[in-house]
Amino acid sequence: MAERSPGVATVNEENARPIVQSSLCQDVERVLISAEEIQDRILDLGRQIDERYTGKDLLLIAVLKGSVVFVADLMRAISIPHELDFLATSSYGASSVSTGVVRILKDLNEPIEGRHALLVEDIIDSGHTLAYLTRLFRARNPASLEVVTLLDKPTRREVDIELFWTGFSVPNEFVIGYGLDFNQKYRNLPYIGVLKPEVYEPGSE
């Protein structure tokens, strides 16, 4: 039997499971979408993206920070050659009234003119971020511009936007995990969970 080295992980079934800190799980009211359901849906999306973009110059544009986990799995479900770029926008906060004003904190590294751009989002809420980004990128003359989002909260929509692919439509609840945060925490949960109200509204117990 191989000896365990303190600095090297041994590959076995135990190591293959996602590691979740138990101190984070106690704030989750319930699991809305399991890790397995997410991975199954991402495989579907990857296959559809393969079909649509075969032979095309595909550029995935991930909107930081929430979409990091999603894009990491999605790009591995896509088998055709493609590139990845990142964009960071200012956040106006989930609890504040949305102004529709979006500020670019980090722009793309590469031009998108003539390329097939696919925006990757973790969640669409009011739609303001996406409406702004769509306008911004259309002006750069890509060959095409489409959107894939893991989650959509259609009941919160304030502006009309066009989504090409949606992983899951979710109810108007405080969702966290798999990239989505509350106060920058919980992004590491491998599932989409509903946050306990007492965590974001202290005194509501």
Residue 125 known to be catalytic: yes
Residues facing 88 on adjacent strands: 64, 106
Stretch of 29-37, 118-126, 139-147, 194-202 lying at the interface with ligand PRP (CB under 6 A): 118-126
Which 3 state secondary structure label does DSSP give 192?
strand
- How far is Cα 79 from Cα 121, in angstroms, rounded to an integer? 20
- How far is Cα 20 from Cα 167, in angstroms, rounded to an integer? 23
Among 98, 140, 164, 197, indicate the residue that binds ligand PRP (CB under 6 A). Answer: 98
Nearer residue to ligand PRP within complex by CB, 56 or 156: 156
Phi, psi of 202, rounded to the nearest 5 degrees: -55, 135
- How far is Cα 97 from Cα 95, in angstroms, rounded to an integer? 7
- How far is Cα 110 from Cα 133, in angstroms, rounded to an integer? 15
Among 124, 151, 189, 192, indicate the residue that binds ligand PRP (CB under 6 A). Answer: 124
Q: Of 153-182, which residues contact ligand PRP (CB under 6 A)?
A: 181
Residue number with the shortest CB distance to ligand PRP? 66
In angstroms, the Cα distances linking 20 to 15, 17, 25, 68, 186 are: 12, 9, 8, 17, 10
Does the footprint of ligand PRP cover residue 115 (CB under 6 A)? no
Does the footprint of ligand PRP cover residue 122 (CB under 6 A)? yes
Among 126, 166, 176, 192, indicate the residue that binds ligand PRP (CB under 6 A). Answer: 126
Stretch of 10-18, 26-34, 121-129, 137-145 lying at the interface with ligand PRP (CB under 6 A): 121-129
Among 43, 82, 91, 108, indicate the residue that binds ligand PRP (CB under 6 A). Answer: 91
Total residues contacting ligand PRP by CB under 6 A comes to 17
Please, what is the minimum distance in Å from the beta carbon of residue 108 to ligand PRP? Answer: 15
Q: Of 47-66, which residues contact ligand PRP (CB under 6 A)?
A: 63-66
Strands (E) in 2-131, as ranges, are 28-33, 58-64, 82-89, 104-106, 116-124
Given the residues 122, 125, 152, 181, select the one marked as catalytic: 125
Strands (E) in the chain, as ranges, are 28-33, 58-64, 82-89, 104-106, 116-124, 144-152, 165-169, 175-176, 192-195
Q: List, by residue number, the catalytic residues.
A: 125
Residues found near ligand PRP in the complex (CB under 6 A):
63-66, 91, 98, 121-130, 181
